[in-house]
Amino acid sequence: MKKYIMAFDAGTTSARTILFNKDGEIVSQASKEFTQYFPHPGWVEEDASEIWSSQIGTAVEAMSKISATADEISAIGIANQRETTIVWDKNTGDAIYNAIVWQCKRTAPLCDKLKKDELTDMIKKKTGLVIDPYFSATKIKWILDNVPFAREKAQKGELLFGTVDSYLIYKLTGGLCHITDYSNASRTMLFNIKDLKWDDELLKIFDIPKSMLPQVKNSSEIYGKSSSKFLGGEIPIAGILGDQQASLFGQACFNKAMAKATYGTGAFILMNTGNEIVNSNNGLVTTIAWSYKDKVTYALEGSIFECGSAINWLRDDLKILDAADDSEYMATKVKDTCGCFVVPAFSGLGAPYWNQYARGTIVGLTRAVSKYHIVRATLESLAYLSKDVLNAMEEDAGFKIEELKVDGGVSKNNFIMQFLSDMTGISVLRPKIVELTALGAAYMAGLGTGFWKDLEDAKNILKIDMSFKSNFDKKKREEKIKAWHKAVKTSLYYKE
């Protein structure tokens, strides 16, 4: 009897495996952090083999906690950090270089050259994306240009590229499947989101052999089975979604105009735009949300590079916090920030600014500012950045967002969620289950194997835990946002 769906939540700094039952309840979970490397300022890397070993290790642990067998698991679904780039040897399955993480800025000079060559409009028209080091294409090119013999091997068809989902599936199936789904393909800056195929013109511009690329599949279908040597039996792999699209799906934002925000290492706000490609004039990207039963759903997205990582900065680097959870208590120790603003642009600013050279800034410092004010200002910055994205989203889409569903670890912070509602003036809804990324991947896998019958099954699972509503004075809100934008300008003036 199939009792469970297994979800891989392959995040930016940790691997997690969660087993869900048919009611969408978590019955077992395990997680393991892995190392990030910073070989140069602005560079971020991870060991692909550690990503794999951490992920499969948590899967075994989650099963062992409840003595689950492979026969009891209907399917595996994967939600993954998206643009992170892995290139591996087709014959050995080993990465030829560390995974280059989505946060990495090493390809900024190449992006500048692409802009100078007036390719911005063409790339955006084809992919829905802005030219930025964030996306995979320039990372692949960097590996081919800088790793010894990489380009020669690629031209011989000996190398494969994939985002983390592709790499995990390749390893999990013993090299039998080299695939991805539409949501992840749309984040590479190589995929034409209108024609729904890898774009030959873009491949030529980036000098990337097509043989490296995975086959693109629906987000929900049976792709293959895990090798029995890993989990004690063969389990169908039946769902793939980029992590942010997974949380949009997990939040049951199945209809046009529904929006969600995930607050994890970074923060990502997505709005379902249905079967319509909405082009942004306000610094957002157009992306594929998912493909279900051969129908593609699109979304508008705004990416905020620093969120939980900003709180970790307070804890790990400034040593202001003993634990990340202490941030809420410390923020409420003072009534405001005493005129202080923190702009956490540690790796540039994402939407709607898209400035890779912006750097973290603290403004408004006086001797009256204490560590409590710094903590509060850092937490408030996450709401301000969200407000900027939501404003851009409403302008592009042409209608007002009435409510925002939230998830991710940072969404547990009540101070941030209330301030978010205060600064946006909209209702913020937090479900009882905050692991919506994993749940979205589980839904896709479960729908792919018939574990869940249809979207109504998934919709009925979601229950709201807490709603945050604003009674904030409109004039005071506008004053605060105006002051925030002055702080952002200070950050944008910085350039190495």
Q: Is residue 477 part of an annotated ligand binding site?
A: no
Q: Is residue 435 part of an annotated ligand binding site?
A: no
Q: How far is CA 303 from CA 274, 349, 408, 448, in A?
A: 20, 9, 14, 29
CA distance 379 to 344: 10
CA distance 105 to 197: 27
Q: Is residue 437 part of an annotated ligand binding site?
A: no
Q: Is residue 409 part of an annotated ligand binding site?
A: yes
How far is C-alpha 443 from the chain's CA centre? 18
Q: Is residue 37 part of an annotated ligand binding site?
A: no
What DSSP string runs through 336-401? S-TT-EEE--BTBB-TTT-BTT---EEES--TT--HHHHHHHHHHHHHHHHHHHHHHHHHHHTS--
Q: Which helix (H) or strand (E) holds 248?
A: helix 243-250
Q: At a CB cut-off of 8 Å and minimum separation 6, what does 169 contact?
A: 78, 177, 178, 179, 223, 224, 237, 240
Q: Is residue 14 part of an annotated ligand binding site?
A: yes
Q: How far is CA 41 from CA 112, 113, 347, 401, 451, in A?
A: 18, 20, 9, 38, 46
Q: Is residue 308 part of an annotated ligand binding site?
A: yes
CA distance 188 to 452: 30
Nearest CA among 139, 224, 243, 222 for reference residue 174: 224
Q: Is residue 93 part of an annotated ligand binding site?
A: no
The end-to-end CA distance of the chain, in Å, is 60
Q: Is residue 251 part of an annotated ligand binding site?
A: no
> What type of residue sits at position 375?
V
CA distance 241 to 258: 18
Q: Is residue 265 part of an annotated ligand binding site?
A: yes
Q: Is residue 192 part of an annotated ligand binding site?
A: no
Annotated binding site for ADP: 12, 16, 265, 308, 409, 413
Binding site members for glycerol: 82-83, 134, 243-244
Residues that constitute the known binding site: 12-14, 16, 82-83, 134, 243-244, 265, 308, 409, 413
Binding-site annotation: residue ranges for sn-glycerol 3-phosphate? 12, 82-83, 134, 243
Binding residues for ATP: 12-14, 265, 308, 409
